[in-house]
Structure 1
Amino acid sequence: MTLFAEIWAEARPVAIVSAFSLSLMTAVELLFPREKQSLHQRLTGLGIWALYVPISMVIFKLFHALWVAIGIRPLLTVPMSFDWTGIAAIVVAPIAAALVYDFFFYWFHRAQHAFAWRFHAVHHSIRELNAANSYHHVSEPIFQAVFLLLPVSLIVTDTGPTVPAMLIILHLQATFIHSPTSINLGPLRVFFCDNRFHRIHHSLEEKHFDKNFGAFTTLWDRLFGTAWFPARSEWPATGLAEIDQPRSLRGWIDLPIRFRRGGPDAAAESALVQ
């Protein structure tokens, strides 16, 4: 099997799950809207995802091949492959594994804000935030491979046969938390992140900066003092004051360069080069 065929074999399930998550949440947004979103930005987001997913899979495949070649094994295995049966096998086991993964994601996310902000700023620059328009910069898989997958690979959660269910849950959750729909988790937000909780993280308001880093559970934000639970009517505008969101593939790729120059003219410059 060629390298391309191997990458495609691994990417196909991810592509299918991603397409399912984006389609489902876009339908929910259209049926139960919280705010109006433009068709142009949805299509721009879909175009970016069409590039982002295969690029991610190539980078992750290369990382895995390198890790196997080096021969480094996990330092610790968290036993979760209990004799799950019935609903536990379908729901409880993947949620338990997702909690462990989200712990690493929480700290990776905080590190992005501290040390790789101009790249992560692409994600935060989005003003029309929705399922299709919740992309990251093309460099994101590199940061994830080094600072997220690497530590996760050293501490493995042995989930047995629950990996497919966990993959679907994580993708749906990551899409849902960016969705401008009136549907939310209500009281379950005490434990699980939803779109209202994560909206705070993307807020333009300074009081919300560096809050709500978790993507799956609110547990780590509560434990480490970064949780902000929104009031009933709290639905802030999103984006960055200093630069516009990408409005083309070129704008998506080169935003970190323009953001590095920064300054009050950055937003105007963004509009000129796109």
Structure 2
Amino acid sequence: MLASNPLPALWHFACEWWFRYEIVLSLFIVGALIEARRPVQHLQSRAVIRLNLAYSAISTALGQAARPLTAAASVWIVNLLGGGLIVLPAHGWGVFVSVLALVLTIDLLEYLFHRLQHAWPLLWRMHSLHHSAESFNVTLTTRHYWFEALLKGFLMFPLVGVLFRVDPSIAGIATLVFLPVNFFAHMNLRINLGRFVTWVNNPQYHRLHHSRRAEHFDKNFTQMFPLWDRLFGTMWTPAPHEWPPTGLDDAAEPASVLAALYWPLRRRTGGDPAAAVARVAE
């Protein structure tokens, strides 16, 4: 029997991938235009920016390819654990309550997962790709090791389905809320939010999380609301003129897209915050 024509499926995959990457590119462009107004670093590596753009295209394709697998795994886990313990409203003013509940829950899970990424050596080997950038700018937003998205699909996101039974459209809205905040937090933008600097994640608050200075290690983990850093004792409130250099303590950084794709397998593991703190203490 002749195999069915794979071209329509490939075309559909390519269209979905390009649509997602168009969104990312649009946010990169808008972010770069905003950054140009008041940059923290005036001279940044164009080679690194090109690497970030290319790596984002590949990691987006890998994530798109893995979506059916992670979606099926999430449904299986939720059904296995008897998901939907709390039914969230899908009509009227209850929609706002539902979106808020999902946003707070996802943000807390993101915070906890981020803590694990810095605490467990295997997770840190992957996550250190994101921290390796000395050029801190909006194109860094999506420079996460591609396998981390799979881990979230299998381990973290099903927990939301176990806790809540919610209309898919509301879940989509809650997920989209994180998008602009995440891109904003990675901007190379000198902005003074004053007393609001610890209200929502922003370029200065998150830059301290990427800092190479030992006093900033394991601080400011939040993705959206610094509330979690305050509650769990990991908040570092930035001083008005505190804009530290970023990157790993050994200055390791991928020199190519290929190097980024096999980053955790590289010979040197450098940049472990715990190791850096130990060296400072000595």
Cα gap change, 1:254 to 1:50, in 2 (>3 Å)? same
Structure 1 residues 80, 179: CA separation in 2 closer, same or farther (over 3 Å shift)? farther
Q: Give how far 1:99 is off.
A: 2.0
TM-superposed CA distance for 1:192, in Å, is 0.9
1:126 aligns with 2:103: no
| SS of residue in 1 equivalent to 2:139 | coil
How far off its partner does 1:7 sit?
5.2
From the superposition, tell whether residues 63 and 173 of structure 1 become closer, same or farther in structure 2 (CA, over 3 Å). same
**Alpha-carbon shift at residue 139 of structure 1 (Å):** 1.9
Give TM-score, length-normalised by structure 2: 0.79
1: distance between equivalents of 2:111 and 2:190? 26
**d(CA) in 2 for partners of 1:128, 1:25:** 14
The alpha carbon displacement at 1:52 in A equals 1.0
What are the within-5 Å matches in structure 2 for residues 37-56 of structure 1? 37-56=44-63
- 2 CA distance for matches of 1:201 and 1:78? 36
> Which digits, 9 at most, give the CA deviation of each residue in 1:86-141, with x for residues without a partner?
xx86xx86455322210110011111111211111111111111111331112222
1:131–1:176: 8 Å Cα contact kept in structure 2? yes
Write out aligned runs for 1:117-266 (5 A). 117-134=124-141, 135-156=143-164, 158=166, 161-183=169-191, 185-258=193-266, 260=268, 262=270
Query: Is the alpha carbon distance of 1:125 and 1:259 closer, same or farther for their aligned partners in structure 2, counting shifts above 3 Å?
Result: farther
What TM-score does the superposition give when structure 1 sets the normalisation length?
A: 0.82
1:8 Cα deviation after fit: 5.6
One-letter amino acid of the counterpart of residue 46, structure 2: L
SS in 1 for 2:140: coil
Give the CA deviation at 1:62.
Answer: 0.9
Q: Please state whether the residue corresponding to 1:139 is helix, strand or coil.
A: helix
Residues 25-52 of structure 1 deviation map (CA, whole Å, 9 limit, x = unaligned): 1111123322122322211111110111
> Cα distance, 1:254 vs. partner?
2.8
Whether 1:79 and 2:84 are equivalent positions in the alignment is no
Query: CA 1:138/1:77 → structure 2, altered by over 3 Å: closer, same or farther?
Result: same
Asked if the contact 2:106–2:160 (Cα under 8 Å) also holds between the matched residues in 1, the reply is yes
Measured after TM superposition, the shift of residue 225 of structure 1 is: 0.8
1:114: which partner in 2?
A: 119
Contact persistence 2:70–2:150 (CA under 8 A): no
What is the alpha-carbon distance in structure 1 between the residues aligned to residue 192 and residue 102 of structure 2?
23
Report the CA distance shift for 1:21/1:211 in structure 2 as closer, same or farther (over 3 A). same
Give the conservation status (yes or no) of the 8 Å contact 1:59–1:141: no
**Structure 2 counterpart of 1:258, which letter?**
R
Letter matched to residue 29 of structure 2 = S
Report the CA distance between 1:242 and its aligned residue.
Answer: 2.0
2:38 paired residue number: 32
Deviation at 1:75, TM superposition (A): 4.4
Taking structure 1 as reference, are residues 190 and 41 closer, same or farther at Cα in structure 2, changes over 3 Å only? same
Q: Please tell me the residue identity of whatever aligns with 2:27.
A: S
Query: Which structure 2 residue ranges, 5 or more long, are not aligned?
Result: 1-5, 272-282
Please state how far the C-alpha of 1:69 moved relative to its aligned partner.
5.4
After superposition, the Cα gap between the structure-2 partners of 1:163 and 1:69, relative to the gap in structure 1 and judged at 3 Å, is closer
How many correspondences in the alignment?
Answer: 259
Aligned to 2:23: 17
Q: Rg larger in 1 or in 2? A: 2
Instruction: Determine helix, strand or coil for the equivalent of 2:230.
Output: helix
* Cα distance between partner residues in 2 of 1:159 and 1:229: 37
- Using the TM superposition, name which of 30-39 and 103-112 deviates more: 30-39
Q: Which runs of 5+ in 1 are unaligned?
A: 264-274
Sequence identity of aligned pairs in percent?
A: 29
Instruction: Classify 1:253/1:12 alpha carbon distance in 2 versus 1 (closer, same or farther; 3 Å).
Output: closer
